[in-house]
Chain A
Amino acid sequence: MSALAFTKLELAAVSRQFKGVTALADFSLTIRNGEFVALLGPSGCGKSTTLNCLAGLLPLTAGAIYLDDERVDLLPPERRGFGMVFQNYALFPHMSVRKNIAFGLQMQRVSRHEIVRKVDWALDLIHLTEHGDKRPNQLSGGQQQRVAIARAIVMEPKLVLMDEPLSNLDAKLRHEMRTELRRLHRELNLTTVYVTHDQEEALSLADRLVVLRNGRMQQAGAPEEVYARPANAFVADFMGYRNQLSMVAGPVEGDPTLTRLSGGGIELVANGTVRGQATVAIRPDGLTLGRTGVNDIPGVVRTVEYQGRDYEIEIEVNETTSLFARINQRVTAGDQVVVNVPRDHVMVYAAGADPEADESRRDPIHERETV
């Protein structure tokens, strides 16, 4: 496994412009050997652009990519030795599963005997040994996706790039494949860059999460860190902080570490030193039913969605403000309730610190570059 022997892959100020639109700006990231990095963001955020730049399918506009000390961004894709799994699988329809998996090895002029051995190994890895002689179109979506993964990893690539590989699968299969991907990553210690717009997928798979918007990195960190402490209101929104309120932040007398927030008919106290116009983000599961004396908000239940383990309810606080809460008690629409939110569950972001905050939170912006 000498091909895997590298220490770090470095993207240095990588930019990509597309017909005058910046698809990726000044993107720097260092990926350690064996790391699983997820690039997360809405469509048009630059995550697929990043992946295609890494693969070599799109040239950079500026910046460089280094594999240890070797510069690789000027190499064509066929000489980078990175494996890629495509969103639509891109299996060769005229070749059997075995031939699909063997293709890359044949290109490397691996001996016939060795190809048979490696293809057997890969088929066993993805549990498709019996289907080796079938054509891709005779397989289900999940099986095709596994073949696409096998085709990429049988080459023992230095880096595996995955472009929303599970987005065409149904929910149950997606979950199974997620577990499978995690298993493969652990067993083979594959350095992986994984692109997705699904935050649950990113959180469950990745060692490190990179959130992008409009071609700019918003936050990079461990999943727990990004989930618990989003760097800005955009990341918070993407991480499922469904309650976003525009409030005014002021000081709390006698305690400089606290912030008093008011707006939308609600008064809250939160940690932090933000002052002035602010965006406040609270996760639905940060709210609990009942009165505690701090940050209590009375309201009327408007909608109740049963979610299996708990309920997601919408509480109308007043004419202009509603809050979403995840609770495990049964309530019915029309009930008068009081919810409270602990101080450390209230995220406060200074408005204006983020110039693009108001513009398009779930933006379908620039056309996505497809390869």
Chain B
Amino acid sequence: MSSMGTLDLPRVQAPSAQPSWRHRLRDRGIDRLLWLVAPAFLFLVLLFIYPSVYGIVLSFQPMDHSGFLGNYVRFFFDPFLRGTIGHTFSIALPASIFNVVAAIPLALAMRRRKRSQRIVNVLLVTPITLGTVLVAEGLLNYLGPRGWVNRILMGIGLTDKPLPLLHNMWGVIISLIITGFPFAFLLILSYVSGINPAMDAAARTLGAGASQRFFRITLPLLSPGIANTFCLTFVLAFSVFPSATLLGNPSGDSHVLAVAAANAAFQQYDYPLASAISVITAVVELLMIAIVLGLRSRLYSGSTATGKG
């Protein structure tokens, strides 16, 4: 295709300082192949950009005509609504930190064990395929007051009454770990596999013990991947909705932003307020991502391999 294009060109005239416009376009990767992104672009405009812009505009048109920022003022002055930010953080932050921190050692252990890696992948991917609701149903039976866990705990005498594992923020956190950990693990594993194992061997021959190798070689090389993974799992956890309603206490400590938005939209039919809550959710997520990526850029962010090997 590109060779056709160049063959069809007229013979080159006297050399000029400016390359021809076709060459300049091609140099920037603009050619007919670019049409292939058209369907995706259309999709993006219709299903993402338009609804987002619509929602943002709507959020500035409160139903009580209290002015441009009315919904936002209301959100931040209402302790029940304002508290959702704190609730969401206290669920999303521990869950995503746990997911990332627990994924690192497992990924490191799996990096050279291809066979067990496959088994672990299957074990971990299954909960993703089952969907949040099914997992939540399972957890209701498993962690409930009369579920296996509590019956075993009481049976061996560790507690005399059932532990309140559900219908509070712990239930939501457990569910977020079950669904979020596989993502974190698979992502971290791919970053770990990108580190040349010769780095570790080199550090060993230079006298570095296991913990020195981890903290001075592996962790710095892995840190960009850890930051990315944290951002993704955090965003997933921050917009938690189904498990917050099914496993949490949606009017108490798991009254998260998504629940508040849903209540506004479908109980009070206040779409502008729901939009405002969604915009606030997005802004908080973006702030968090900005902080994490800002920290990341202060760490090493280049290639994880040297040489031509």
Query: Which residues in chain B, 174-205, are within 8 Å of chain A measured between CB atoms?
Result: 196-199, 201-205
A121 to chain B, nearest CB (A): 17
Q: Are A104 and B206 in contact (CB under 8 A)?
A: yes
B215 to chain A, nearest CB (A): 12
Q: 1/0 contact trace for A86-102 toward B, CB 8 Å?
A: 11111111100000000
Q: Which residue on chain A has the smallest CB distance to residue B207?
A: A107
Q: Which residue on chain A has the smallest CB distance to residue B304?
A: A93
Task: Tell me which of A77-85, A227-235, A303-311 binds B.
Answer: A77-85
B82 to chain A, nearest CB (A): 42
A77 to chain B, nearest CB (A): 4
A109 to chain B, nearest CB (A): 10
Interface of A is mostly: loop
Which residues from B are CB-within-8-Å of A86?
198, 201-202, 309
Q: Which residue on chain B has the smallest CB distance to residue A83?
A: B205
Q: Which residue on chain A has the smallest CB distance to residue B209?
A: A78
Q: Are A155 and B207 in contact (CB under 8 A)?
A: yes
Q: Does A135 contact B (CB under 8 A)?
A: yes
Q: Does A364 contact B (CB under 8 A)?
A: no
Q: Does B297 contact A (CB under 8 A)?
A: no
Known contacts A57-B201, A137-B302, A371-B201; is A88 also within 8 Å of B307 by CB? yes
Which residues from B are CB-within-8-Å of A107?
206-209, 212
Choose one: B204, B207, B217, B308; the contact of A92 (CB below 8 Å): B217
Q: Are B308 and A90 in contact (CB under 8 A)?
A: no
Q: Are A89 and B307 in contact (CB under 8 A)?
A: yes
B264 to chain A, nearest CB (A): 47
Q: Does B303 contact A (CB under 8 A)?
A: yes
Q: Does B45 contact A (CB under 8 A)?
A: no
Which residues from B are CB-within-8-Å of A88?
196, 198, 305-309
Query: Which residues in chain A, 325-371, are within 8 Å of chain B measured between CB atoms?
Result: 370-371
Q: 1/0 contact trace for A112-154 toward B, CB 8 Å?
A: 0000000000000000000000011100010010000001100
Q: Are A78 and B204 in contact (CB under 8 A)?
A: yes
Q: Does B220 contact A (CB under 8 A)?
A: yes
Choose one: B207, B217, B220, B305; the contact of A104 (CB below 8 Å): B207
A18 to chain B, nearest CB (A): 14
Known contacts A88-B308, A107-B207, A108-B207; is A93 also within 8 Å of B303 by CB? yes
Q: Does B300 contact A (CB under 8 A)?
A: yes
Q: Does B221 contact A (CB under 8 A)?
A: yes
Q: Which residue on chain B has the smallest CB distance to residue A99?
A: B216
Known contacts A88-B198, A90-B196, A93-B300; is A144 also within 8 Å of B205 by CB? no
Q: Are B306 and A91 in contact (CB under 8 A)?
A: yes
Q: Which residue on chain B has the smallest CB distance to residue A141?
A: B308
Which residues from A are CB-within-8-Å of B304?
93
Question: Which 9 pairs, one residue from A and one from B, show the smallest C-beta to C-beta distance?
Answer: A88-B309, A94-B300, A104-B206, A90-B198, A89-B307, A107-B207, A90-B202, A88-B307, A77-B204
